[in-house]
Amino acid sequence: MGRAFVYVIVGGGVSAGYAAHEFVKRGVSIGELCIISEEPVAPYERPALSKGYLLPEAPARLPSFHCCVGSNEERLTPKWYKEHGIELILGTRVKSADVRRKTLLTATGETISYKYLIVATGARPLKLEEFGVNGSDAANVCYLRDLSDADRLVDVMQSCSGGDAVVIGGGYIGMECAASLVINKLNATMVFPEAHCMGRLFTTKIASYYEEFYKSKGVKFIKGTVLTSFDFNSDGKVTAVNLKDGSKLSADMVVIGIGIRPNTSLFEGQLTMEKGGIKVNGKMQSSNTSVYAIGDVASFPVKIIGETRRLEHVDSARKSARHAVAAIMEPEKTGEFDYLPFFYSRVFTLSWQFYGDNAGEVVHFGDFSGNTFGAYWINKGYLVGSFLEGGTKEQYEAIARATRLKPMIEDLGELERQGVGFALSVSQKASVSGPTDVVDSCVISDKPMFVWHATAGVIVAASIAAFAYWYGTRRRRW
């Protein structure tokens, strides 16, 4: 048994949803596109799972966060796919692929053939067992990647209210889950081997702001050590976490966020791999010209950095998806993907954005004892990365624009003094002088523009419960 489509997307997450939207915008015909996904639901905005989904009051639930609400665009419900003649094969794993024959074999035994294939298989969490620790299957040990993980996490959190939670890992998932755990009235302790949280992105100074904020909400930090084993009760539930430094933490539940591994196995030995992902060119096209890769699984040339990177962020998933579809449907009109890396997070009343690359020297700016502060990264004399906490829409847009323009920085002290005002002024100058792609030199000579905007919509002194309500009702963005 088999079916044939012009376009097939394997994987049904964020990038698949945005690719489908782009196919429709570009006039895909009824019956030409098929999406095959292991998940039983239509593509959704995955970041919601560690934010709105975990709120104790008015939590986000599907269908509210199907793609593409995260970009303030239409919400693609299963009805939308049907109306546009897109075949959505859900709850179905693709178990093998043959790129020479242009076929996929599903776990249900169906062969699906394609003219163009888009690989959007994302990534899966690294398991403790890969580090020699057993216990991933225990009923109170949680990971967080998909909807079923999130449902499980919610159930376990609710059953442990008032108890002790240990979070293993100090990255995105660890930080966002720790915040949710205390909002859900658990005592959370974070354990990670690095010297500070968000080790891959934050500087020590930035991390210490967030750690202090977390501590003020009751989160404890144990740094510089790792989990070595669990203690279990007779039901097989974890009761304590043993650390390499010899300490033991009592645990009613454990959340693991120790990184992810891209889902490339279907294509190993068939497509060229790089940096753990499927290597693609600036059109998101792999070493096989009929196969494209997008989202977390794709390693693509990031022009502005001058390197091939594999990014694990939602903005890159959305934009790489749109670019691949443009390249497939209108190849002659589509240039190279020119992406400015963008990461963000929102926890408690905090909200930060990062653009570019965190390479080179760092210049911190702003009020680290207040609500708005940031950092610039200067590499070989040029601004290459910008971070801002608590900014306004205008300020975030300005740091994005300034980073994209890559201005030359001559005086780091002056840059620090101007702070976010520097990005605003670069951005304003660029708008006046027209749509310039690159500003080669930008001497910092303007008067400082320290107008520290009150952070719109942020309730600074809110209690955790009030915050949860506010966050759920006012800030439902993915």
For residues 120, 121, 124, 129, the Cα torsion angle rounded to the nearest 10 degrees is -150
Size of the site for ligand FAD (CB under 6 A): 37
Which residue has the CB atom at the shortest distance from ligand FAD? 13
Where residue 75 falls (left for φ over 0; alpha for ψ -120 to 50; beta otherwise) is beta
Pairing of strands 141-142, 248-250: unpaired
Of residues 89 and 375, the one with the C-beta less far from ligand FAD: 89
Our finding on whether 341 is near ligand FAD (CB under 6 A) is no
Our finding on whether 13 is near ligand FAD (CB under 6 A) is yes
Of residues 342 and 365, the one with the C-beta less far from ligand FAD: 342
CB-based contacts of 358: which residues, under 8 Å, 6+ apart? 201, 377, 385, 387
Of residues 266 and 363, the one with the C-beta less far from ligand FAD: 266
Considering the complex, what minimum distance in angstroms separates the CB of residue 309 from ligand FAD? 13
Give the integer Cα–Cα distance in Å for 399 and 356.
10
Q: How many helices and strands (H and E) does the chain possess?
A: 10, 26
Stretch 289-328 residues interacting with ligand FAD (CB under 6 A): 295-297, 312-315, 317
Of residues 378 and 458, the one with the C-beta less far from ligand FAD: 458
One residue of 24, 28, 47, 304 binding ligand FAD per CB under 6 A: 47
- Partner residues linked to 111 by β-bridges: 2, 105
- Of the candidate spans 42-50, 238-246, 247-255, 324-332, the one that interacts with ligand FAD by CB under 6 A turns out to be 42-50
One residue of 5, 8, 9, 10 binding ligand FAD per CB under 6 A: 10
Strands (E), 175-318: 187-192, 220-223, 227-232, 238-243, 248-250, 253-256, 260-262, 273-274, 277-279, 291-293, 298-302, 307-310
One residue of 7, 20, 22, 46 binding ligand FAD per CB under 6 A: 46
Our finding on whether 11 is near ligand FAD (CB under 6 A) is yes
Of residues 221 and 267, the one with the C-beta less far from ligand FAD: 267
How many residues are present in the chain?
Answer: 478
Our finding on whether 180 is near ligand FAD (CB under 6 A) is no
- Of the candidate spans 41-49, 393-401, 425-433, 442-450, the one that interacts with ligand FAD by CB under 6 A turns out to be 41-49
Our finding on whether 353 is near ligand FAD (CB under 6 A) is no
CA-based end-to-end distance of the chain: 39
Q: Closest by alpha carbon to 274, among 283, 282, 286, 266?
A: 286
Pairing of strands 164-168, 187-192: parallel
Q: How many other β-carbons are positioned within 10 Å of the β-carbon of residue 348?
A: 21
Binding mask 131-160 for ligand FAD (x = CB under 6 A): -------------xx---------------
Q: How many other β-carbons are positioned within 10 Å of the β-carbon of residue 1?
A: 7
Considering the complex, what minimum distance in angstroms separates the CB of residue 39 from ligand FAD? 4
CB-based contacts of 307: which residues, under 8 Å, 6+ apart? 301
Of residues 47 and 374, the one with the C-beta less far from ligand FAD: 47
Considering the complex, what minimum distance in angstroms separates the CB of residue 340 from ligand FAD? 13
One residue of 5, 12, 302, 452 binding ligand FAD per CB under 6 A: 12
- Of the candidate spans 114-122, 152-160, 206-214, 445-453, the one that interacts with ligand FAD by CB under 6 A turns out to be 114-122
Residue 34: both structure tokens together: 């098929």
Give the integer Cα–Cα distance in Å for 251 and 419.
43
CB-based contacts of 239: which residues, under 8 Å, 6+ apart? 230, 231, 232, 233, 250, 251
Our finding on whether 164 is near ligand FAD (CB under 6 A) is no
Q: Do 167 and 214 touch, CB atoms closer than 8 A?
A: no
Of residues 345 and 455, the one with the C-beta less far from ligand FAD: 345
CB-based contacts of 75: which residues, under 8 Å, 6+ apart? 63, 64, 66, 67, 68, 69
Stretch 239-278 residues interacting with ligand FAD (CB under 6 A): 263, 266
Our finding on whether 356 is near ligand FAD (CB under 6 A) is no
One residue of 36, 325, 350, 423 binding ligand FAD per CB under 6 A: 36
Q: Do 119 and 15 touch, CB atoms closer than 8 A?
A: no
Our finding on whether 93 is near ligand FAD (CB under 6 A) is yes
Of residues 209 and 343, the one with the C-beta less far from ligand FAD: 343
Of residues 92 and 189, the one with the C-beta less far from ligand FAD: 92
Torsion sign, CA atoms 162, 165, 170, 171: negative
Of residues 144 and 243, the one with the C-beta less far from ligand FAD: 144
One residue of 8, 33, 34, 37 binding ligand FAD per CB under 6 A: 37
Interface contacts to ligand FAD, rule CB under 6 A: 10-16, 36-39, 46-47, 49-50, 93-94, 120-122, 144-145, 172-173, 263, 266, 295-297, 312-315, 317, 343-345
